[in-house]
Every structure is written in structure tokens, then in C-alpha cells.
Amino acid sequence: MKHRATREFLIGGVIGPITRPEVVIAGLYRGDDLVIVGRTVPLSPAQSAELGAVLTPAKPGHPWPDEITSQRWGGKDSKKPLTKVEPLVAAVAADAATQAGQVRHSMRFIRVRSDLAPDDLDQLDS
């Protein structure tokens, strides 16, 4: 049985175009490093439109790769282009199970938390 709780993560990238994202790639800071911690299930058309309206392209120096593999989350080892964005806070429904700071199962995007800044979130343990 999976237990999901609402948590806040940073959106650091998306799969798909920035104006119509398909999947959110979530992260948290560990010191000054933005670390990938999980991904969402595919977004609904309404979620994609909501998110696409507020995402902005990442500034130079974004630490994430240009491609990401699905193998990290138990999928086939296919690479997909990663659209890097300026980090913003989002509420997601996430399983409580984690491993080495990584969320073990896909999350569900709930909404953007425009009332929170990236610095407001707890960091990963060093």
C-alpha cells in the first residue's frame, strides 16, 4: 500500500516544451547544488497549461543535464531532452518512500506554490 502526502519540491526542468510541459522533473537543494529527486506522472492538459504559463527558461549555468533517462525511475533506458527552467516551488502528492534522497515512485503535480520561494524549502541532507 502506498501512502501519499502533499510535499513541496522545486521544478527544475520538464520533459516537453516549456509552454506545454508533459512531465515535471523535481529537485531540492543540497547546499548550493540543485539535485534531481523525482518526476511526476504525465500532466493533464489543464496542469500543462497552468504550468506552461509560469515557467521561464533557465539561466546559463543550470546544473542539470540536457537529457535525462527514464532508467532512474525504473523505466527502459531511453533518453529524453530535458527542458531546464528557473526553479519554482510546486506542491505534489508523493509517496513517502525515498531512497538516498530520491522519491521512489512518480509524483502527482498538484499546483504551483507562488507563495513560496526556493529558499523556503528544506534542503537535502549532505
DSSP codes joined into one string, 34-90: EEEEEEBSPPPHHHHHHHHTT--BPPTT--S-SEEESGGGTS-S-EEEEEEEEEEEE
Cβ neighbours, 10 Å, residue 66:
11
> In this predicted model, which residue has the larger pLDDT, 1 or 97?
97
User: Whole-model pTM?
Assistant: 0.86
pLDDT in tens, 74-116: 556 678 899 999 999 999 987 765 655 566 668 899 999 999 9
Report the pLDDT averaged over residues 109-124. 94
Q: Which single residue is written with the C-alpha cell 537535502?
A: 124
pLDDT in tens, 50-83: 999 999 999 999 999 999 886 555 556 678 899 9
pLDDT in tens, 2-38: 566 788 999 999 999 999 999 999 999 999 899 898 8
Interatomic CA distance for residues 101 and 103, integer angstroms: 7
Decide: helix, strand or coil at residue 110. Answer: strand
What pLDDT score was predicted for residue 14? Answer: 97
What pLDDT score was predicted for residue 41? Answer: 92
